[in-house]
A and B are shown apart, each in its own frame.
Chain A
Amino acid sequence: MPAFDLATTPIRELNQALHALSPGTNDRAFEVRNPRGSHAVAVGCAAPVAIAVHGPVGYYCGGMNAEAAITIHGSAGPGVAENMMSGTVIVEGDASQYAGATGRGGLLVIRGNAASRCGISMKGIDIVVGGNVGHMSAFMGQSGHLVVCGDAGEALGDSLYEAKLFVRGGVKSLGADCIEKEMRGEHLETLERLLAAAGMGGVKPLEFRRYGSARKLYNFDIDNSDAY
């Protein structure tokens, strides 16, 4: 099992080793120790390997991830799993702002709280947060799911496209064009699947409320033409 101690090894060696993996590699599990808040830990992975990071990381951990299963045994700085394509990123602690931003696929799990702008401009990623999310989460979210087991801050889902939002606790306020929607059977099934995938199978889908786009901002409203 390849192991990297970032107290003695430059971050670039870790990332180059991860980028050099061939499809048939026998190295399936990586250990990373002493990240000490380093930036860009395990970014750009494109192989189906498991990476365990022991300790808190800084900006952009797991960014652009494709296929790898990355577990951060600690908290994550801004932009964790930014633009993830596939695979999983699990944060055992809290995540700073814009977790999962612009993510196109895969599953991001944050067991603690996420700060502001969680899932901003999400484009297909699924995000499950065990605690709360901060203000302007899922801002301009285009597709994918944001599941929040705790509370959501101000302006949830502002200028939302087709991302689907589920919140179990309170929502401080909804952003422009974000409304509560009916929770139907298909949504409960999706929630159950996502919670199970996140290892939170004990949480009941029926306790959540669903939010989505009112689709009022999609097109120019001709009644506003007087403004020009």
Chain B
Amino acid sequence: MCGIVGLFLKDPALEGLLGDLLSDMLVTMTDRGPDSAGIALYGDAVAGRSKVTVQAGDPARAFAALETLARQAGGESVTLTITDTHAVVGLPSDRVGALRQALADAPEGFRVMSAGETIEIYKETGLPRDVVARFGIRDMRGTHGIGHTRMATESAVTTLGAHPFSTGDDQCLVHNGSLSNHNNLRRELARRGIGFATENDTEVAAAYLTARMAKGRDLGGALTDALGDLDGFFTFVVGTRTGFGVLRDPIACKPAIMAETDRYVAFGSEYRALVGLPGIEAARIWEPEPAAVYFWDRDGPPGDAMLAA
């Protein structure tokens, strides 16, 4: 199974509630997958600054070394916010590469969950309720967010095997389903220089979209390409710095329901995930069509937010 939720806000007045709303949605989906849970939140951008979310299996030891390491790589303006097993390093955007290298070289076993101007990803094994509480997700604000609760099928139940997967700056993807051509696609992407952290099929889908967008495709275009190149079962919800996309495979076995009002676009694996949203009774509610691309962009022209390929 797996449970997916997503919330893309149009009304800035809801931004302070993003973490709370998304947490309720995700906890409601707990019985679709108890193995691990994760949430990606997109906050406010600060010009010239980026954030790198770092996870460590032994945070007490590892994060003691992180501040020095981050300052060496990122300079004096580095900020560090540690929450449980995760730490968010704020730094100048042009220092992200140096920090990534330093983290990879360090002996502490740091894992990069996400990097970008606005994204933060928190994910761990365990139930959504516990993961949400450990990281204080309810108090977080933002413009859009995506959550996932996992019933593992394709790879191990570990922190790195949890969703969302982030393979590019400010990009993330969650998946319900299983891909059948991920090994081949992973080899092709690896040959083009893309690194993989896991044996997971979903990471391949995320990396595929990252590669397409690196070639200049927008999110809608990359999702359209995915219909031709990915084989298997999937309902995806994808986030970028300003965008939010949904794609289901042509067979569309994996459930999906969407709601849109003047204030938000919401996604749930089931309607249950949406019942707590403000004004849901009056929302336009529909099941996304198989093999159709849906995406919304905060910077896109109003009224031209959705494209069904």
Contact = CB atoms under 8 A, between A and B. Distances in A.
Contact-residue bracket for chain B = 10 to 19
Given A115-B287, A116-B290, A37 B255 contact: no
Contacts of A115: 252, 287
B287 A94 contact: yes
A37 B250 CA distance: 25
Contacts of B252: 97, 115-116, 134-135
Contacts of A38: 272
A11 to B, nearest CB: 12
Interface in B281-306: 285-287, 290
Nearest to B255: A78
B233 interface: no
A78 B285 CA distance: 15
Contacts of B135: none
Contacts, number: 41
A119 interface: no
Contacts of B250: 135
B270 interface: yes
Given A77-B255, A78-B255, A96-B255, A36 B287 contact: no
Q: Is the interface of B mostly helix, strand, loop or mixed?
A: loop
A99 to B, nearest CB: 12
Contacts of A77: 255, 270-271
Contact-residue bracket for chain A = 10 to 19
Interface string B230-264: 00000000000000000000111101010000000
Interface string A53-76: 000101100000000000000010
A56 B272 CA distance: 9
A38 B275 CA distance: 11
A37 B287 contact: no
A133 B272 CA distance: 23
18 contacts: A36-B271, A36-B272, A36-B275, A37-B270, A37-B273, A37-B275, A58-B270, A58-B271, A58-B272, A59-B270, A77-B271, A96-B255, A96-B257, A97-B252, A97-B253, A115-B252, A134-B290, A135-B252
